[in-house]
Amino acid sequence: MRRALAASAFIAPALAHELTSFGESGGQANFARLVAFTLAFLLVLLLTAFLGYRRTKSRGGGEVVWAIFPTVVVAVVGAMILMAALNFQPVGGARLKVEITGQRYWWAVRYPEREIVTAGELWVPVGERVELRATSRDVFYSLSIPGLGVKIDAVPGQTTRAWFTAKKAGIYGGRETEYVGPSTDKMRLRVFAIPQGDYQRLVTAIQNYAGPQPEGSAQRGEALFLARCAGCHTVRGTPARGATGPDLSLFRIRTTFGSGVWPNREDFLATWIANAPGMKPGVHMPAFPDLSPEDIQGLIAYLKTLGPTGVDLSRYGRLP
Ligand code: HEC
């Protein structure tokens, strides 16, 4: 019995390294482990104290038990600290780099080595180490992606870095955690962790895509877009070169818009184009009350031609 207790006291710290926030599994699972570990540790402490008390009462020799008891406690806590220290993620060593730029109220996303530009959604391969580089165009931001153990500040004029590896395929949600204005809660980032093969296909599809080829009502939409929207939005392969709003070159493959908030669906888009500030107070996109429903349908038809075909990111999971 005593041996089993002693053994458990030394095995417990080995579990403890999973509990720190430095690991990459993060989130809910950690909380369950933390509770289980705390209960187990408490049980060991109480049992040791109880056995010590009984032994003192029956045979004397309590000094020995009371010497062992604090020694074990100190050893266990020491081991936990050591495990946590060893579990610090080393910096560097990432092949894939992604730059994110915070601005009112969205995240621009750029892959410097691949010249891929998007917004609000970030695509990474499962199991590969990624270097996230953050900066800001206006105020201080602080992005938290609990599922990946990422908490990163974005500061104007500086680049901050964080490293992560998504171990499982799926969508990891990120949120702005500092108050930056009335739409703070609508500034999100979704990280899609995509199986390696699919990821390579996605990158190839994006790199082979030359630009939109609108037909029918989308052509009307394109003319309208170049006249009314191109001052703020870029579309690769067209004269649209604006930089106030997100680059829309790959808009078709996005599952969400408005910085990971609304599903990329016609009904939400129609409301957005007519009155973006109504959906996201404080946004730097004006309302367009003069556009007719046909104008808006044309613009949506055009938006649906932007990006490579045959890509479906929604199958990697959904976030509420
Ligand atoms: C004055 C600049 C400006 C103009 C003009 C403008 N937009 Fe925007 N647009 C923005 C900004 C800024 C955002 C980012 C809003 C956010 O998510 O916080 C945005 C976001 C969007 C989005 C969502 C993109 C994403 O990545 O989430 C779409 C779609 C869009 N605009 C379409 C249009 C269309 C269509 C027009 C023309 C009718 C237009 N915009 C005109 C600034 C502008």
Q: In this structure, what token pair is assigned to residue 219?
A: 């052509």
The stretch 279-288 carries a mean pLDDT of 96
The stretch 41-63 carries a mean pLDDT of 78
Residue 212: which region, alpha, beta or left (left: phi > 0; alpha: psi -120 to 50)? beta
Report the percentage of the chain scoring pLDDT > 70.
87
Please say if the pLDDT value at position 136 is more than 70.
Answer: yes
Pocket test for ligand 1, best of 232, 271, 304 (most atoms within 8 A of CB): 232
- Lowest mean pLDDT: which of 62-76, 163-177, 188-202, 223-237? 62-76
Please say if the pLDDT value at position 187 is more than 80.
Answer: yes
Ligand 1 pocket, 107 CB below 6 A?
Answer: no
- Lowest mean pLDDT: which of 18-32, 149-163, 211-225, 252-266? 18-32
- Residue 81 has a pLDDT of 85
Q: Do 217-316 and 96-208 have the same topology in CATH?
A: yes
The more confidently predicted of residues 137 and 83 is: 137
Pocket test for ligand 1, best of 138, 233, 249 (most atoms within 8 A of CB): 233
Residue ranges covered by each domain of the chain: 2-86, 96-208, 217-316
Confidence band for 279, pLDDT divided at 50, 70 and 90: very high
What is the distance between the terminal CA atoms of the chain, rounded to a whole angstrom? 49
CATH superfamily of the 96-208 domain: Cupredoxins -  blue copper proteins (2.60.40.420)
The stretch 104-132 carries a mean pLDDT of 94
Please say if the pLDDT value at position 20 is more than 50.
Answer: no
Please say if the pLDDT value at position 25 is more than 80.
Answer: no
Q: Regarding the domain delimited by 217-316, which CATH topology (the fold level of the hierarchy) does it fall under?
A: Immunoglobulin-like (2.60.40)
Closest by CA to 118, choosing from 27, 4, 9, 253, is 253
CA 218 – CA 225 distance, rounded (Å): 10
CA 66, 68, 73, 77 dihedral sign is positive
- Residue 19 has a pLDDT of 40
The stretch 117-133 carries a mean pLDDT of 95
Ligand 1 pocket, 282 CB below 6 A?
Answer: no
- Lowest mean pLDDT: which of 86-95, 116-125, 310-319? 86-95
- Residue 16 has a pLDDT of 47
Please say if the pLDDT value at position 87 is more than 80.
Answer: no
Ligand 1 pocket, 233 CB below 6 A?
Answer: yes
Report CA(245)–ligand 1 centroid distance (Å). Answer: 5
CA 15 – CA 19 distance, rounded (Å): 8
- Residue 11 has a pLDDT of 56
Report CA(207)–ligand 1 centroid distance (Å). Answer: 24
- Residue 88 has a pLDDT of 67
Q: In this structure, what token pair is assigned to residue 25?
A: 């599994």
Ligand 1 pocket, 286 CB below 6 A?
Answer: yes
Largest CA-CA distance found in the chain, in angstroms, rounded: 95
CB atoms closer than 10 angstroms to residue 99: 16
The more confidently predicted of residues 298 and 33 is: 298
Please say if the pLDDT value at position 36 is more than 50.
Answer: yes
Please say if the pLDDT value at position 269 is more than 90.
Answer: yes
Please say if the pLDDT value at position 22 is more than 50.
Answer: no
Q: In this structure, what token pair is assigned to residue 267?
A: 């009904």
The pLDDT mean for the chain works out to: 87
- Residue 83 has a pLDDT of 84
The stretch 174-178 carries a mean pLDDT of 94
The stretch 52-63 carries a mean pLDDT of 73
Report CA(142)–ligand 1 centroid distance (Å). Answer: 23
- Residue 119 has a pLDDT of 97
Report CA(266)–ligand 1 centroid distance (Å). Answer: 15
- Residue 143 has a pLDDT of 97
Do 34 and 13 form a contact (C-beta atoms < 8 A)?
Answer: no
Residue-wise pLDDT tens digits, 66-81: 777 788 888 888 888 8
